[in-house]
Amino acid sequence: MVFSEPTFLFFFFPLTVAFYFLAPWKIKNLYLLLVSLVFYAWGEELFLLVILAMIVFNYFMAIGIDRAAENPWRLRLTQFGVAFNIAVLAYFKYAFFFASNITDNAAALNYTRSIHLPIGISFYVFQAVSYLIDVYRREVSAQRDPIKMALFISLFPQLIAGPIVRYSEIEKELMDRKATKSDFTAGVERFVVGLAKKVLIADPLGLVADQIFAVPLDGLSTPLVWVGVICYSFQIFFDFSAYSDMAIGLGRIFGFKFPENFNFPYIATSVTEFWRRWHMTLSRWFRDYLYIPLGGNRVGALRNYCNLFLVFLICGFWHGASWNFILWGAYYGVFLVMERLGLSAILARIPRFFAHAYLLLIVMIGWVPFRAETFEQTWTFLRLMFIPGAGETALLYPVERFINGYVFFTLVIAAIFAMPVGNWLRERMTKSPLMSLSGYAYSGFVAAVFGLSIVAAGAASYSPFIYFRF
């Protein structure tokens, strides 16, 4: 169920919230668990059994790890638990990729191609892995209440596409929480911001990007390619950050405070800074559960560079089972190593404008293999981005066919709100001498944006959350 679809906005969401606040505290967790399972089953049906099996497995595995007093047994149980979780993810997500690269057996390929990827499995597997490792490290104790454990894994706001929430971050709230009036107000406001980013910015620009990336390769031209890449760059940021905003807002309504996931990554001036601002919960996950265990900054320079490159290679593969995603991860690994080798020092000395231009260029180049379906499409887009030209049938696909006044206006709005303009305006309003009046004005503005977003969501025929497929 997509947060921006009418079924969620007019049926699931209001009923869930209403009955949650009517329910006594003793059954609030059970109620949220049942609602979350219904939410997941809405689109996945039988694959609900997969997440239930994962919940049961990790519930008992964590308790076993917690009870094991001797370190060798704790380590072996943890290794088995982590390996099992990764194996489940590998089966559903990577079976066809591995089969297609090691065999040409038709029966094997047909079988692996038919394996369905359960929505959100990449996210809830990573949450389960972090939970087992944190129990092993004695950073948290295993949760003995199966309802609380199940709710941690399946809580519907962040179940499908993150943020990747660690058990320690919501442990206290699973035990006892209070959703105050200010929490409710802040949660609704954050949800509205996310909804607006999704339906008013990401969807219109995403439609243009999809149309351009669907153009035959011989129909592409340099201007068209740049329009497609720019539209996709804004689409993926506003789409994914919108989901995170809505997830954080929904969690706040129910008394949960999820970690932030984006911090205006397009204002960064280096690739290193970009990854501190983009999908922050995923970056921290790889840092704490892969990069640091590999040695982090405690090892020699050469090994440190290799570890950094390996982490981003795996990060790319986590995003999708294709060589394009591996290329994308390797691409960022190379630039991160280059910045460690001295490029960061150069970027710090040059004017911020040029450092920012460098970052935007690197990011836009990176989105090409991320979005493209094949190496051939990737190469064609990259070649046309930097070598002016046009294909044989490019006249059939003029830029004017894809971009109009509305799209141009949306691009301008996207460029403005990719910067912390909204935060600045709100801060100015709260510090205004006419604070009460400005507060009413801001509430009216939020209400107007919500109304406009509802109209757009109801009329939309194109509204995918692109991170669902990861």
- pLDDT of residue 54 exceeding 60, the answer is yes
**Between 445 and 172, whose confidence is greater?**
172
For 460: left if phi > 0, alpha if psi spans -120 to 50, otherwise beta; the answer is beta
Please name the residues in contact with 118: beta carbons below 8 A apart, sequence gap of 6 or more.
44, 47, 50, 51, 92
CB atoms within 10 A of CB 114: 9
Per residue in 317-355, pLDDT tens? Answer: 999 889 999 999 999 999 999 999 999 999 999 999 999
pLDDT score of 157: 92
pTM score over 0.85? yes
User: 212 with 224: CB under 8 angstroms?
Assistant: yes
DSSP 83-126: HHHHHHHHHHHHHHHHHHHH---HHHHHHHHT----TTHHHHHH
pLDDT score of 463: 64
Q: What is the three-class DSSP state of 322? A: coil
* Number of residues written out for the chain: 470
Q: What is the three-class DSSP state of 143? A: coil
User: 44 with 38: CB under 8 angstroms?
Assistant: no
pLDDT score of 427: 64
Q: Which residues are catalytic?
A: 319
Tokens of 362: 């690197």
Per residue in 125-180, pLDDT tens? Answer: 999 999 999 999 999 999 999 999 999 999 999 888 879 999 999 999 999 888 88
Q: What are phi and psi of 25, to 5 degrees?
A: -55, -35
pLDDT score of 436: 52
What confidence category does residue 438 fall into, taking pLDDT thresholds of 50, 70 and 90? low
Beta bridge partners of 221: 390
pLDDT score of 432: 59
User: 358 with 294: CB under 8 angstroms?
Assistant: no
DSSP 219-263: G-BHHHHHHHHHHHHHHHHHHHHHHHHHHHHHHHHTT--PPP--S
Maximum pairwise Cα distance, the chain? 73
What confidence category does residue 391 fall into, taking pLDDT thresholds of 50, 70 and 90? confident
Beta bridge partners of 390: 221
Q: What is the three-class DSSP state of 140? A: coil
Per residue in 249-299, pLDDT tens? Answer: 999 999 999 999 999 999 999 999 999 999 999 999 999 999 999 988 888
